[in-house]
A and B are shown apart, each in its own frame.
Chain A
Amino acid sequence: MTMQNVGRPTRPEGASETAGFQSLTGGRGLLQDEPLIFELGGWSKTGVDLPEPDQDASDLAGLTRADLPLPGLSEPEAMRHYVRLSQKNHAIDLALYPLGSCTMKHNPRLNEKAARLPGFADLHPLAPVATAQGALALMDRLAHWLKTLTGMPAVALSPKAGAHGELCGLLCIKAAHEAAGQGHRRTVLVPTSAHGTNPATAAFVGYTVAEIAQTPDGRVDLADLELKLGPDVAAIMVTNPNTCGLFERDILEISRLTHAAGAYFYCDGANFNAIVGRVRPGDLGVDAMHINLHKTFSTPHGGGGPGAGPVVLSEALAPFAPAPWVVSSAEGFELVEEPTAEAAQAFGRMCAFHGQMGMFVRAYAYMLSHGSDGLRQVAEDAVLNANYVKARLADVMTPAFPDGPCMHEALFDDRWLDGTGVTTLDFAKAMIDEGFHPMTMYFPLVVHGAMLIEPTETESRRELDRFCEALRALANAARGNDKDRFKAAPHLAPLRRLDETLAARKPRLAWKPETLAAE
């Protein structure tokens, strides 16, 4: 035989010595600390090649700026900088992302591809309407799907996010009351479990907010609602399914009482994912509801936006919808950008152009992919997955509402942590060490130490089991006196817990040459 004895070792050696290991340069292997672009030194550098202009700016003498001190990076440097930063983020594409109320589901890349087609991405909002017929057709189709799925006769597409949709809905309600001589109605009723945007939006349009109590089983207290509904009430804002992950069983009675009192029913549609294709809000007596396209219809969350929040409207509110809107005729589609004589009651305008077209394309692609059958399955699987997680964790954690099924999210309180010294926050941070994003914590406010878990329908059985096993192991550790695991968590994230007190006491909101860490 031929002896080749120059091979390198092919088995690991000395692997037991890694605890407390420090690299010589301070980084963590492939995960490197990354400076700010302002510290990378490219003050006169640019990563873009542009021709020299052949005319000067002498006609703007006295109107030009002295300097613009911003660094630039060449293309390879910029690419590396932002790719390194990306690696410090958790994402849906990495693991189940159980943020209750946020509907972190898979984002199909087909939708991204569609939104980048030049006829959509490179279309100017004020291009002649004759050159934008495909965009208007898409808006018209999207509107049709949203109206059909909700059983509502009208939709305002332009609101740019959920809270913007709430604002649009309340402005419709305000306009309707004023048109009916009911402008004196100044109160909006909101359950204590509501999203913070509900009372904030009501206050934003000048309404007074009053709270509706909740029953021990996590629903609107009908008696309290009846007590508070009066001639001063403009609307109620109720989330359904609600923020405890429960369907409001008395929803028909809630809308009947509301309408009998002369008020409108605004439904926060953040949780529409749980019922899409199975329940139409129009059949529940809803007058206005925003739909977070970035939740139910899977447009990407993008690290905090952009979203899109079209608002479906009842017959009573439809005449007050804001401009613009699409109308179709034999000659094609028209875009009504200013309220016309026939629609003189439109309350105004929500944003500069026609809404989040890029999100409309993605949402429409998502709808076409699922179809009416697939969307119904979405709701069923979302609810099934949440109930499965609840069932699998019920013996080690304490469900806030153990009786009966939940909808698309399972809510736990912190009773099971009593006496362990571990808090909801500690538990959530320890989930990071196990590879999962924490669930929504301390919300809704009506449940002590709330942990709100929304798995969504795009999780496989295998990933759900992996998640449940991790939480069960953590729950047992919390009760097994393994407190340090939790108090100092996360141990394995790019950074340890951050000092939010320092950030708020001495706000540093823009880069300056010296850093806090150096002080």
Chain B
Amino acid sequence: MRYLPLTADDRAEMLGVIGAPDVDALFVDVPEAARLSGPVDLPAHAGELEVERELARLSAMNRAAGDGPFFCGAGAYRHHVPATVDHVIQRSEFLTSYTPYQPEIAQGTLQVLFEFQTQVAALTGMDVANASMYDGSTACAEAVMMAQRVTRREKAILSGGLHPHYAAVTQTIAHAEGMEIERLAAAIDAEAAVIDAIDEATACVVVQTPNVFGVVTDVTRIAEAAHARGALLIVVTTEAVSFGLLKSPGEMAADIAVAEGQSIGNALNYGGPYVGLFACREKLVRQMPGRLCGETVDAEGRRGYVLTLSTREQHIRREKATSNICTNSGLCALAFTIHMTLLGGTGLGQLARLNHAKARELKTAVEGAGLEVLTPRFFNEIAVRTRGPAAAAVDAALAHGVVAGVPYSRLDPHAGLDDVLLLCATETTTPEDIAALAAALKAA
């Protein structure tokens, strides 16, 4: 077996050193009734060629986003990632290292995390960011529980524009912890309902911009209303490229900003691994979940980095920890940081404007196909009303070779919005793609 270096002779000699007659003697503590006498009923080992063939066969059964016109967004986005990113993240020293608990021999990972935290803080307009969460949705749930710790209140209000999966994850996790979750009805423009729902028992309001329908909202008024009642504002962003163009959560007085960072540096990967961004105001830092990297000096006074404020975390505080999170998304955060470093603020701004411009072309074409666009102000996603169920329109377009976005009903089947279709354009979308979509929707 190519991954197992021991030979039969090695094993025999090592058993001799141990003083065991055979390997079974090392499993003597396993109750006899639970010992398997031979291999379980699964195929035997396979060579690299055979395995590669099988994986390639499965891969070929899928249609990759790049295989044709493609318009899905709704929480995951197809962007071009420079080749440098994937090369660097496959370096052994990044790929095959552990969490940097031994800072003397992990300064590479730690300095990257420090750069990542600084970039995320700048993008979100906040003071501090952590070293990443699993994804945007779990970051959202963690933010809601953090608001409970900060305010000592139990109620969270989720905007009707919040991605339904984010709402479901938050309901699942925060509810289990004992919070009351008020999820407002799905609404394309959700601002007024959110402000109305805030009361003195509210720990936080969770608002997404651009929201799941693509609507860009200045949430400053929501922040004012929340703060007037002693509640926190959590701003969610699923499309991190939008930070290059739109007002940051910090500029709009958010207390906590969470986002899905997949768009920068990371592939679609059928939903994971992704990288949750989590940033907040400095005064809240001790209530943050997850790892934090901080600057310090070594015994010779040289600058270095360590994981810090660890007493918040599970491995020290156990049942009193701010979260149970242990593993984060280190390698995805590295990919994010390298891509962001290649872009710089200038490049991200340009990329964001390019995405927005593509979406304007998309809007024009969809309207030309006779469909109503429901999103008044958008970044790179729009919601449109289809003539019949959106799911049927997607099926029909697929027959024309076009992946025509995501039916809203797939995310939220009970909202009664069966005729709402979510479309996204990015820098990877060509004029020919848009023409093909318009033709397919017209025919549908």
Contact = CB atoms under 8 A, between A and B. Distances in A.
Contacts of A62: 218
Contact of A48 (B132, B332, B343): B343
Interface in B20-63: 20, 23, 25-31, 33-36, 39-46, 48, 50-52, 54-63
A46 interface: yes
Interface string A254-291: 00000000000000000000010111100110000000
Interface stretch (B185-193, B222-230, B303-311, B436-444): B303-311
B268 A303 contact: no
B272 A384 contact: no
B216 A122 contact: no
Contact of B326 (A36, A42, A197, A364): A197
Contacts of B314: 163, 196-197, 199-201
Interface residues on B, range: 35 or more
Interface string A292-320: 00100000111111111000000000000
Contacts of B346: 44-46, 72
Given A67-B345, A160-B134, A300-B96, A200 B308 contact: no
Contacts of A361: 55
B367 interface: no
A145 B26 contact: no
A47 B30 CA distance: 57
A278 B40 CA distance: 8
B219 to A, nearest CB: 10
A279 B306 CA distance: 39
Q: Which of the listed residues A34, A53, A404 has the most CB atoms from chain B within 10 Å of its own CB?
A: A53
Contacts of B411: 126
Contact of A252 (B31, B115, B318): B31
A422 interface: no
A499 B298 contact: yes
B100 interface: yes
A249 B30 CA distance: 6
Contacts of B103: 495, 498
B65 A163 contact: no
Contacts of B298: 495-499
B169 A503 contact: no
A494 interface: yes
Contacts of B122: 68-70
Contacts of A138: 55, 58
A477 interface: no
Interface string A173-207: 01000000000000000000001110111111110
Interface stretch (A5-13, A73-81, A223-231, A478-486): A73-81
A507 B309 CA distance: 8
B115 A354 contact: no
A202 B319 contact: yes
A230 to B, nearest CB: 19
Contacts of B175: 348
Contacts of A325: none
B342 A59 contact: no
B72 A278 contact: no
Contact of B344 (A45, A92, A115, A391): A45
B318 A196 contact: yes
B168 interface: yes
A431 B402 CA distance: 58
A355 interface: yes
B131 interface: yes
A372 B246 CA distance: 53
Q: Which of the listed residues B54, B55, B321 has the most CB atoms from chain A within 10 Å of its own CB?
A: B55
A106 B84 contact: no
Given A37-B115, A86-B94, A511-B115, A432 B398 contact: no
A203 B172 contact: no
Interface in B55-83: 55-67, 70, 72, 74-76, 78, 82
Contacts of B18: 384, 387-388, 390-391, 405
Given A114-B55, A373-B39, A381-B4, A493 B105 contact: yes
B338 interface: yes
A141 B354 CA distance: 40
B302 to A, nearest CB: 6
A402 interface: no
Interface in B297-341: 297-306, 308-309, 311, 313-321, 323-332, 334, 338, 340-341
Contact of A119 (B61, B325, B357): B61
B107 A89 contact: yes
Nearest to A359: B273
A503 B308 contact: yes
Nearest to B395: A128
B158 interface: no
Interface residues on A, range: 35 or more
Nearest to A82: B88
Contacts of A303: 94, 97-100, 106, 108-109, 112, 330-331, 334
A163 B325 contact: yes
Contacts of A73: 341-342, 344
A60 B28 contact: no
Contacts of B76: 124-126, 352-353
A130 interface: yes
Interface in A336-364: 337-338, 347-359, 361, 364
B420 interface: no
Given A44-B346, A352-B260, A122 B268 contact: yes
A380 B10 CA distance: 13
B15 interface: yes
A24 interface: no
A352 B165 contact: yes
Contacts of A60: 216, 245-246, 356, 377, 379
B72 A126 contact: yes
A38 B295 CA distance: 14
B395 A65 contact: no
Q: Which of the listed residues B58, B172, B324, B406 has the most CB atoms from chain A within 10 Å of its own CB?
A: B324
Interface string A383-410: 1110110111000000000001101000
A371 B51 CA distance: 11
A130 B361 contact: no
A404 B26 CA distance: 8
Contacts of B64: 118-119, 121-123
B294 A53 contact: no
Interface string A205-240: 110010000000000000000000000000000000
B196 interface: no
B90 interface: yes
B403 A127 contact: yes
A64 B417 CA distance: 30
B115 A200 contact: no
Interface in B224-283: 243-248, 251, 260, 267-275
A516 B100 contact: no
Contact of B5 (A115, A378, A458): A458
Q: Which of the listed residues A249, A350, A352 has the most CB atoms from chain B within 10 Å of its own CB?
A: A352
Contact of A405 (B29, B84, B301): B29
13 contacts: A47-B341, A93-B96, A125-B76, A127-B63, A134-B60, A204-B323, A209-B318, A301-B330, A349-B172, A353-B270, A371-B46, A387-B20, A509-B285
Counting from the closest, the 6 A-B pairs by CB-CB distance are A72-B344, A353-B271, A134-B61, A302-B331, A119-B59, A348-B172
Given A121-B267, A384-B6, A508-B295, 7 more contacts: A59-B360, A72-B344, A92-B92, A353-B272, A387-B26, A407-B26, A461-B7
